[in-house]
């Protein structure tokens, strides 16, 4: 008989059911309090009930769990220092969307060697999130694969839907059922229309195919997620963090009957992929806050222990500890300075 299926599949391996991982690494009261408290704070900021701003700060991607914990230990004092002005949430990205090919993140390839030990990747990701939450550090991530939320979403305070996936119906459906606030990035072309459409779609109920905690195929029904907002990250058409762009997008959001409060991603298209220019973007945000802008509710910074980035190599022992293997990042000292600038601007705006 002529074969018509799996013509390009060379292997299938069992995936650990989410329930097994939750049993091995259960969320405890302290971790749950961290997640719940941070989610409520972010919701209040989104709704204008909290005058603080949200700051999503951390590595472009996590490739070394120890370095991520070391980074968190240095971010934690900054979270405490600026708690009156900022809700600082650590960026903990496990999945990397690729324009063509490349390392896809800790969940997909945790050993960084092309072995694609996804079961181990899921366990490491959940373990790291649990450790962070137990220490009082809330986490933000981008959810790329629609199966992954069943494994880690209970430990996430804020989620991004990325520029490449905002237009995807699958991701809009997934977002409609997630339990945390969600930032929708503008498309890679730099325009906000697709993200605005996504916010509208994900705020409504959906019914779609998914998996349950036991790992079985399921029909998922959702209520819709009311806590969505726009993230301006620039794109092929240029940057979109400057006041004119922010005001225009805010007006577009009002026209769409959505909240005009939005976040600026200081990296990606807004920095023209030069990590040092994140400071320039933050300078503009600070200026707009000082001038009384009510549209800006948050910022995102790509930051690590060591500035810059490095290429993955076959010899992992040659990697620089605490330096990104994906997008280049600012270092922790620069991060502290930029957060201080933003916190001072917020204090000025409150007067």
Kindly indicate the confidence band of residue 278, based on its pLDDT and cuts at 50, 70 and 90. Answer: very high
Please name which of 86, 92, 94 lies closest in space to residue 38, comparing C-alpha atoms. 86
Is pLDDT of 97 > 90?
no
Percentage of the residues of the chain whose pLDDT score is greater than 70: 99
Per-residue pLDDT tens digits for 27-45: 999 999 999 999 999 999 9
d(CA 215, CA 65): 26
Per-residue pLDDT tens digits for 234-244: 999 899 999 99
Per-residue pLDDT tens digits for 154-185: 999 999 999 999 999 999 999 999 999 999 99
- Residues sharing a CB contact under 8 Å with residue 293, sequence separation 6 or more, in sequence order: 243, 246
Residue spans of the domains in the chain: they are 18-43+55-350
Cα 250 to chain centroid distance, Å, stands at: 21
Kindly indicate the confidence band of residue 102, based on its pLDDT and cuts at 50, 70 and 90. Answer: confident
Is pLDDT of 101 > 90?
no
Instruction: Pick the range with the lowest mean pLDDT from 92-106, 233-247, 282-296, 333-347.
Output: 92-106
What is the CATH T-level fold of the domain 18-43+55-350, as seen in this structure? TIM Barrel (3.20.20)
Is pLDDT of 247 > 90?
yes
For residue 215, what are its two tokens? 């790992």
Kindly indicate the confidence band of residue 351, based on its pLDDT and cuts at 50, 70 and 90. Answer: low
């Amino acid at each position: 008989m002529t074969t018509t299926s799996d013509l390009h599949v060379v292997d299938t391996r069992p995936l650990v059911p989410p329930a097994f991982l939750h049993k091995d690494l259960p969320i405890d009261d302290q971790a749950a309090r961290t997640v719940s408290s941070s989610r409520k704070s972010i919701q209040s900021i989104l709704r204008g009930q909290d005058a603080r701003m949200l700051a999503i700060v951390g590595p472009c991607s996590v490739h070394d769990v120890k370095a991520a914990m070391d980074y968190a230990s240095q971010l934690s004092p900054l979270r405490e220092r600026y708690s009156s002005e900022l809700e600082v949430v650590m960026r903990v990205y496990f999945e990397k969307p690729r324009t063509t090919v490349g390392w896809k993140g800790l969940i997909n390839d945790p050993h960084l060697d092309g072995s694609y030990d996804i079961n181990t990747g899921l366990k490491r990701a959940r373990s790291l999130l649990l450790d962070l939450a137990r220490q009082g550090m809330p986490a933000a991530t981008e959810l790329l694969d629609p199966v992954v939320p069943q494994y880690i979403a209970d430990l996430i305070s804020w989620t991004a839907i990325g520029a490449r996936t905002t237009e995807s119906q699958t991701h809009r459906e997934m977002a409609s059922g997630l339990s945390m606030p969600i930032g929708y990035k503008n498309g890679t072309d730099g325009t906000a229309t697709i993200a605005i459409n996504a916010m509208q779609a994900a705020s409504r109920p959906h019914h779609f195919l998914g998996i349950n905690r036991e790992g079985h195929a399921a029909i998922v029904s959702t209520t819709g997620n009311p806590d969505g907002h726009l993230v301006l990250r620039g794109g092929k058409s240029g940057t979109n963090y400057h006041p004119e762009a922010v005001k225009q997008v805010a007006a577009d959001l009002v026209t769409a009957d959505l909240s005009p409060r939005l976040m600026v991603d200081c990296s990606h298209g807004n920095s023209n992929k030069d990590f040092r220019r994140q400071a320039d973007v933050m300078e503009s945000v600070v200026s707009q806050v000082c001038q009384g802008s009510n549209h800006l509710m948050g910022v995102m910074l790509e930051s690590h222990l060591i500035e810059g980035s490095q290429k993955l190599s076959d010899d992992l022992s040659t990697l620089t500890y605490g330096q990104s293997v994906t997008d280049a990042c600012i270092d922790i000292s620069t991060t502290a300075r930029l957060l201080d600038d933003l916190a001072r601007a917020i204090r000025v705006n409150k007067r």
